[in-house]
Amino acid sequence: MSVPKSTVRSRLWIDGVLQEQDFPFEKISDYLEQDGCLVWVDICDPDHQLLLQLAEELTLDPLAVEDAVSHGERAKATRYATHTFLTAYAVGIRDTGGGRDSPPLARDGNQPPTSAGRLNSTAAERSRLTIARVSAFVLPRGVVTVRLGDRFDAEALLRRWDDNADLLKYGVGALVHGLLDLVVDSHFEAVQILDDAMEDIEDSLFDEQAATTLVQRQTYSIRKDLVELRRIVLPMREVVNAVLRHRKDFHAPTELDPWYDDLYDHVLRASEWTESLRDMVTTIFETNLSLQDSRLNNIMKKLTSWAAIIAVPTAVTGYFGQNVPYPGFGTHWGFLVSLAVIVGMGAGLYAAFKRRGWL
């Protein structure tokens, strides 16, 4: 069948050694039937007809094909008669100093990571998470990945497999592990950056010069990111559990067990870390409110004290009706000078109170 070359990539390993890349699409089913062959096919932005043709050639379940192109699917792993279908979401962090649409799993090298410094007011107003979806049909001798858009970095996936090339001799289980490991690592990176941002906010909480409104915006932005991240990270437990239960279906040898155990441990740590950050951001909200109340009480104490000090001479002079001549008393220019002094002192007090956040 005819397939646009720009939408499809492929690799063939034989006994763990790379033999061929970007081979004709028609050879997929032939390689998948040969012993010792390991096949990876990647389809980016496929149309429904293309997937139906692929499903017919590889006997893929129509429900799985429908899920691969449907939007809004949750992360999951489903076992079918001839294959296992996976859907997972990698997470990236936008570079708030640069573009908004930088792909996940890679950053703009010309800008420093945002975790290195405090968020500015512009960064605090928008979510920094970017989500990249990838689906995979896991066959006994190969994996077919489907990407909706190019946000998921296929090059990073290939580098992950190349870095652990000695595992490819164990078959398709190594490909599945590399894919899930890359996804889980992106979760760790996102959680780490959000954790660093929360530490910056904690420092700002006790900074008398920090703008209260900016701290609130930052906290609310991180809270939204955590809610979105939690929806992605928590279902990965079920995905990895399902892969662990069904890995015998794609003949994963026992040599891969330590790698999968390590992967599951990372999933648990990412989930627990996300939950702890959720509790922490709630604590930051409560602490910020408590600190605002404390600062307001201090301001009221200061204002009340000064008001009491000023009230004493005002009351005494008013009670006795004291009205002594002053420079310019009874003249037009004296009235203007006194008026200017009143307006100037009032404006000065207003500016001082406004700068301190009392007004």
Tens of pLDDT, residues 199-215:
887 777 766 666 667 77
Which pLDDT score, from 0 to 100, does residue 136 have?
93
Is the per-residue pLDDT at 120 higher than 60? no
The structure tokens listed for 330 are: 């009874």
Which pLDDT score, from 0 to 100, does residue 109 have?
35
**Residue 4 confidence class, pLDDT cut points 50, 70, 90:** very low
What does the pLDDT look like over 167-183, one tens digit per residue? 888 889 899 999 999 99
**Residue 251 confidence class, pLDDT cut points 50, 70, 90:** low
Which pLDDT score, from 0 to 100, does residue 180 have?
94
Which pLDDT score, from 0 to 100, does residue 40 have?
93
Q: How far apart are CA 23 and CA 358, in angstroms?
A: 70
Give the side-chain half-sphere CA count within 13 A for 102. Answer: 19
Region 154-168: what's the mean pLDDT? 90
Q: How far apart are CA 249 and CA 7, in angstroms?
A: 29
Region 101-110: what's the mean pLDDT? 40
Helix (H), strand (E) at residue 65:
helix 62-69
What does the pLDDT look like over 278-321, one tens digit per residue? 888 887 877 777 777 777 787 787 777 778 777 767 766 665 56
Q: How far apart are CA 118 and CA 306, in angstroms?
A: 36
Is the per-residue pLDDT at 98 higher than 60? no
**Residue 144 confidence class, pLDDT cut points 50, 70, 90:** very high
Name every residue whose Cβ is closer than 8 Å to that of residue 192 and which is 6 or more positions away in sequence. 115
Number of helical (H) and strand (E) elements in the chain, helices listed first: 9, 7
Name every residue whose Cβ is closer than 8 Å to that of residue 187 and which is 6 or more positions away in sequence. 90, 91, 229, 232, 233, 236, 270, 274
Is the per-residue pLDDT at 157 higher than 80? yes
Residue with more model confidence, 154 or 109: 154
Least confident of 12-26, 34-48, 90-104, 150-164: 90-104
Region 184-198: what's the mean pLDDT? 88
Which pLDDT score, from 0 to 100, does residue 119 have?
42
Is the per-residue pLDDT at 350 higher than 50? yes
Residue with more model confidence, 223 or 48: 223
Residue with more model confidence, 76 or 341: 76
Region 45-66: what's the mean pLDDT? 82
Q: How far apart are CA 147 and CA 296, in angstroms?
A: 53
Is the per-residue pLDDT at 100 higher than 80? no
CB 179 within 8 A of CB 84: no
The structure tokens listed for 352 are: 């001082």
Residue with more model confidence, 214 or 134: 134
**Residue 86 confidence class, pLDDT cut points 50, 70, 90:** very high
Is the per-residue pLDDT at 242 higher than 90? no
Is the per-residue pLDDT at 193 higher than 70? yes
Q: How far apart are CA 249 and CA 14, in angstroms?
A: 20
CB 238 within 8 A of CB 77: yes
Task: Please tell me whether residue 193 adopts helix, strand or coil conformation.
Answer: helix
Which pLDDT score, from 0 to 100, does residue 221 have?
82
Name every residue whose Cβ is closer than 8 Å to that of residue 71 and which is 6 or more positions away in sequence. 148
Is the per-residue pLDDT at 15 higher than 60? yes
pTM comes to: 0.72
Which pLDDT score, from 0 to 100, does residue 112 have?
34
Is the per-residue pLDDT at 6 higher than 80? no
Least confident of 99-103, 118-122, 292-296: 99-103
Name every residue whose Cβ is closer than 8 Å to that of residue 114 and which is 6 or more positions away in sequence. 93, 95, 96, 97, 123, 128, 193, 197
Is the per-residue pLDDT at 261 higher than 70? yes
Residue with more model confidence, 301 or 252: 301
Q: How far apart are CA 5 and CA 22, in angstroms?
A: 9
